């Protein structure tokens, strides 16, 4: 093949995962790394993220990964060398559940606390002080993480890449990868050998000993070209920004697992309202879907919001937008080697890829350099691609009745 450039590692996708992987590779001494982004950095799911940060996962490895995120976001100025952090607002994070989920909540909190995560149960009186405008009557139990909150995925993505560039990583935007090249195929796609590089839309080729697919839901098409099946679908999610009609100060993020809605403050004084009801997912083409909320959805979401916050009668919709989760069958990511030697994948983050991104980067760097995770509480096997073919999904030991997919 005619090669126009080369790198030790090519990363396809300049979202937060590709950026975190690039930075992590440099910290393991792998610096000849090229990130290829078809559009602009952070223009995929990353730029649409609600940015919520918490460690409330039943799957222990995910909770630990999110806890690594909390450390990173808290100390971003020193760790990433950015002047004023990455936009982390440590307002705390609350989860509220109904009676049927109280036991699962207690079990999840105990499991997280056992691995050193700063979380505990909270009583209704404490929650009423934290969120005075909320009607808490239909909640049976709460978990509270004082070190949770929300951040800025776009800003964090750029900070990871700035640190990666310091380590020698190169980034090309407007560089769309059209196929993965493998040996044993004369460089054509579809060979069964090992990954040897990628081809771009302009026909140019880049040789690489390792290719990491971090292209979100678009990873599936590229993997299919070399015979690797990634079970990924794009699930549209609609986000509302509402003006509460009254000053709302210093409230924590509220994950309402009764109303299946999450609410967090914005610096503007508005509230960001998202959906946690995944019982009827809206599967879409990630390149062609409505970019703002549907009127029926707004009506439904506003109804749920009004139920939770009856003391805010003057609520007005400021704006809305939509994005896509890259969803796997078990709503947990694929962070894995593949049947093609030298080809790795980090995709399928199913709506929680921001908070765990720093640990994703480290796990991929471990897999590329050492072939296994260096962290005993983050077993690489949890996120292996083969779990789907083995019918062994990664699931929480303590799922919630109404929100099983996401916890
Ligand atoms: C509405 C919404 C709310 C969310 N809220 C939260 C939250 O509160 N907390 C949380 O932790 N997570 C949240 N997430 C999830 C989180 O934002 C994502 O998991 C994360 O941003 C995914 O990052 P990524 O790098 O895998 O994918 P992306 O950001 O989608 O990046 C993939 C990149 O690959 C590029 N690409 C695609 N094809 C090619 C190609 N052929 N060649 C080159 N480049 C290519 C794309 O242009 C894109 O920039 C949310 C996501 C959405 C959509």
Three-state secondary structure along 21-76?
HHHHHHHCCCCCEEEEECCCCCCCHHHHCCCEECCCCCCHHHHHHHHHHHHHHHCH
Domain with 118 in it: 90-146+233-325
Residues 200 and 255 in one domain: no
For residue 249, the model assigns a pLDDT of 82
Domain total of the chain: 2
With respect to residue 216, please indicate whether it lies within any of the assigned structural domains. yes
Q: How confident is the model at residue 192, as a pLDDT?
A: 62
Please tell me whether residues 141 and 248 are part of one structural domain.
yes
Q: The domain that contains 262 carries what CATH number?
A: 3.30.9.10
Q: What is the pLDDT of residue 189?
A: 47
For residues 316 and 304, what is the distance between their CA atoms, to the nearest angstrom? Answer: 14
Instruction: Determine, yes or no, domain membership for 138.
Output: yes
Q: Are residues 339 and 402 in the same domain?
A: yes
Strands 205-213 vs 343-347: parallel, antiparallel or unpaired: parallel
Ligand 1 pocket test target in 20, 261, 349 with most atoms within 8 Å of CB: 349
Helix (H, G, I), strand (E, B) or coil at 348: coil
Name the pTM for this structure. 0.97
Residue 13 Cβ contacting ligand 1 at under 6 Å: yes
Question: What does the pLDDT read at residue 84?
Answer: 86
pLDDT of residue 405: 57
> Do residue 162 and residue 45 come from a single domain?
yes
Query: The tokens 């109904």 sit on which residue?
Result: 98
Distance 140 CA to ligand 1 centre (A): 34
Distance of CA 37 to the CA centre of its chain: 18
pLDDT for position 193: 85
Q: Note whether residue 21 is domain-resident.
A: yes
Statement to judge: residues 283 and 395 lie in one domain: no
Q: How far is the centre of ligand 1, averaged over its atoms, from the C-alpha of 288 (Å)?
A: 16
On whether both 344 and 319 belong to a single domain, the answer is no
- Give the residue, by CA position, lying nearest to ligand 1 atom 27: 216
Using the 3D structure, point to which of 325, 354, 375 is the last residue of a domain.
325
pLDDT per residue of the chain (407 residues) written in tens, 0 to 9: 566 789 999 999 999 999 999 999 999 999 999 999 999 999 999 999 999 999 999 999 999 999 999 999 999 999 999 888 899 999 999 999 999 999 999 999 999 999 999 999 999 999 999 999 999 999 999 999 999 999 999 999 999 999 999 999 999 999 999 999 999 765 444 446 899 999 999 999 999 999 999 999 999 999 999 999 999 999 999 999 999 999 998 899 999 999 999 999 998 999 999 999 998 999 999 999 999 999 999 999 999 999 999 988 889 999 999 999 999 999 999 999 999 999 999 999 999 999 999 999 999 999 999 999 999 999 999 999 999 999 999 999 999 987 765 55
User: What's the CA-to-centroid distance between 16 and ligand 1, angstroms?
Assistant: 7
| Ligand 1 atom having least distance to the Cα of 326 | 19
Give the span between the Cα atoms of 161 and 46, in whole angstroms: 13
163 lines ligand 1 (CB under 6 A): no
- Cα dihedral across residues 213, 219, 223, 229: positive or negative: positive
Strand partners, 243: 316
Q: Are residues 357 and 303 in the same domain?
A: no
Cα(258) to centroid(ligand 1), Å = 27
Q: How far is the CA of 320 from the centre of ligand 1 (A)?
A: 18
Backbone angles phi, psi at 9, to 5 degrees: -130, 130
Same structural domain for residues 142 and 241? yes
Which domain-ending residue is among 271, 297, 325? 325
Ligand 1 lined by 169 (C-beta under 6 Å) = no
Residue 216 Cα to ligand 1 midpoint, Å, equals 6
Please give the structure tokens belonging to residue 309: 């916050």
In 3-state terms, what secondary structure has residue 262?
strand
In this structure, the number of other CB atoms found within 10 A of the CB of residue 84 comes to 8
Q: Is the CB of 259 under 6 A from ligand 1?
A: no
Q: Which of 12, 42, 48, 49, when mutated, tests ligand 1's pocket best, judged by the most ligand atoms within 8 Å of its CB? A: 49
**How far is it, in rounded angstroms, from Cα 85 to Cα 62?**
24
Question: What is the CB neighbour count within 10 angstroms for residue 51?
Answer: 24
Secondary structure of residue 200 in the 3-state scheme: strand
- The closest residue, in CA terms, to atom 41 on ligand 1 is 177
Q: Do 301 and 254 fall into the same domain?
A: yes
Q: Which atom of ligand 1 is nearest to the CA of 66?
A: 11
Instruction: Report yes or no on 125 lying in a domain.
Output: yes
Q: CATH number of the domain that 201 lies in? A: 3.50.50.60
| Cα 346 to middle of ligand 1, angstroms | 11
Protein residue with its CA nearest to atom 37 in ligand 1: 215
């Amino acid at each position: 093949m005619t090669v126009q450039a080369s790198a030790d590692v090519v990363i396809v996708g300049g979202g937060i995962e590709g950026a975190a992987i690039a930075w992590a590779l440099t910290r393991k001494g792998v610096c000849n790394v090229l990130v290829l982004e078809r559009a602009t950095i952070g223009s995929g799911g990353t730029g649409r993220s609600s940015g919520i940060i918490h460690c409330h996962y039943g799957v222990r490895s995910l909770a630990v990964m999110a806890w690594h995120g909390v450390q990173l976001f808290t100390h971003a100025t020193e760790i990433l060398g950015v002047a004023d952090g990455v936009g982390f607002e440590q307002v705390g994070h609350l989860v509220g559940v109904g009676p049927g989920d109280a036991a699962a909540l207690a079990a999840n909190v105990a499991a997280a606390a056992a691995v050193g995560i700063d979380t505990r149960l909270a009583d209704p009186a404490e929650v009423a002080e934290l969120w005075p405008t909320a009607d808490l009557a239909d909640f049976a139990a709460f978990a509270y993480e004082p070190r949770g909150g929300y951040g800025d995925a776009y800003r964090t993505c750029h900070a990871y890449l700035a640190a990666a560039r310091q380590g020698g990583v190169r980034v090309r935007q407007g560089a769309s990868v059209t196929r993965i090249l493998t040996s044993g195929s004369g460089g054509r796609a579809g060979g069964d050998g090992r990954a040897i590089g990628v081809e771009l839309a302009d026909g140019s080729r880049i040789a690489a000993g390792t290719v990491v697919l971090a292209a979100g839901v678009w990873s599936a098409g590229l993997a299919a070209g070399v015979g690797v099946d990634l079970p990924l679908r794009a699930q549209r999610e609609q986000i509302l920004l509402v003006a509460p009609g009254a000053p709302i100060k210093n409230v924590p993020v509220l994950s309402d697992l009764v109303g299946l809605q999450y609410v967090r403050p914005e610096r503007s004084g508005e509230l960001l309202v998202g959906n946690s009801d995944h019982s009827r997912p809206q599967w879409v083409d990630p390149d062609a879907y409505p970019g703002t909320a549907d009127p029926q959805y707004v009506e439904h979401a506003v109804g749920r919001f009004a139920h939770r916050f009856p003391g805010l009668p003057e609520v007005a919709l400021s704006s809305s937008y939509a994005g896509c989760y890259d969803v796997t069958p078990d709503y947990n990511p694929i962070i894995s080697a593949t049947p093609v030697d030298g080809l790795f994948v980090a995709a399928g983050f199913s709506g929680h890829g921001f908070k765990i991104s720093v640990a994703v980067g480290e796990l991929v760097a471990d897999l590329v350099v050492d072939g296994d995770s260096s962290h005993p509480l983050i077993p690489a096997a949890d996120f292996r691609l083969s779990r789907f073919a083995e019918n062994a999904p990664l699931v929480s030991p303590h799922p919630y009745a109404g929100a099983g997919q996401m916890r």
